[in-house]
Amino acid sequence: MNRATDVRHYPGARLVTLIFFIWLYLPIGVVVWYSFNENRLVSVWSGFSTKWYAAALENKALLAALEVSFIVAVIATIGATLIALCAAMVLSRAPRRGIFQLSEAVVNMPLMLPEIVVAVAVLILFSQIGLTNGMLKLILAHTAFCTPFAFLPIRARMQGMTLEMEEAARDLFASPWVAFRRVTLPMIAPGVFAGAMLAFVISMDDFITSNLLNSGGSTTLPVYIFGLIKRGTTPELNAISTLMIIASLIIATAALVMSSRAMTRD
């Protein structure tokens, strides 16, 4: 690369980059550091301890909220990924005009609308149809707003795939299902995995929709954490946040590794 066009050699670029990453990750570092604080006062350091992690893992209300979030996220991820996969296959092979462009805009619309608008609309809809089951409401709502997040990586992967291999399979008398399962799906698997992981993280992280649809026995982890904040911040909350950060890093790393291996094979 030409030195004149290499952004790393621009005057002040390294300093600006360093300041940006400090500003971005310093609050996360503070949360992680104080999660090991022995003192109950979160801002007063009195020694190193892991007791708040033990307290978090023994908190039955926390574990119940985590269980609700995990169940909702898993089911919503499966539903959103299947819907997104079907939509991506149709739209990637359709002409870029008319109803197909409109359909793609409809799939991506939850990304363009404020989440509070979508949450209120879903709440009104469930009230009108008389749906009262808290878990079912959460699953349906999470599936709806997670679908476009799963759709984007799958759509991008489908756009970069030619139909030659699939057509060759059909020429060898493979049925449409066999051609999809043996040829198309393995080729787009990294995109499907990335979309599923993105949908899972978005579902686990959601607060606005979950808070509006919250009812007895269906409190998610973000809603529970918000309740803890209203009662006062403690190192236990920092421990919970640190565990969520670690889980998110593991999921993001897995998605990145899958995408990198797919790019290397291509």
198 occurs within a structural domain:
yes
CB atoms within 10 A of CB 235: 24
Task: Let me know if residue 157 belongs to a domain.
Answer: yes
- Gap between the Cα atoms of 264 and 170, Å rounded: 27
Shared domain for 72 and 153, answered yes or no, is yes
Classify residue 47: in a domain, yes or no.
no
> What 3-state DSSP class applies to 92?
helix
Looking at the fold, whether 147 and 101 belong to one and the same domain comes out as: yes
pTM of the model: 0.80
For 41-57, write each residue's pLDDT tens digit. 777 778 888 888 888 88
Q: Which CATH number covers residue 182?
A: 1.10.3720.10
Regarding whether 106 and 23 lie in a shared domain, the answer is no
Range of the domain at 17: 3-34
**Residue 68 within any structural domain of the chain:** yes
Q: How far apart are CA 151 and CA 109, in angstroms?
A: 12
Kindly give, in sequence order, each residue whose CB lies less than 8 Å from that of residue 29, ignoring residues fewer than 6 positions away. none
pLDDT digits (tens, 9 = 90+) for 182-193: 888 888 888 888
Regarding whether 245 and 174 lie in a shared domain, the answer is yes
41 part of a folded domain: no
Q: Is the pLDDT of residue 266 over 60?
A: no
Does any domain span residue 53?
no
Q: How many domains does the chain have?
A: 2
CA distances to 12, 245, 255 from 201, rounded to whole Å, are 35, 11, 11
pLDDT score of 56: 83
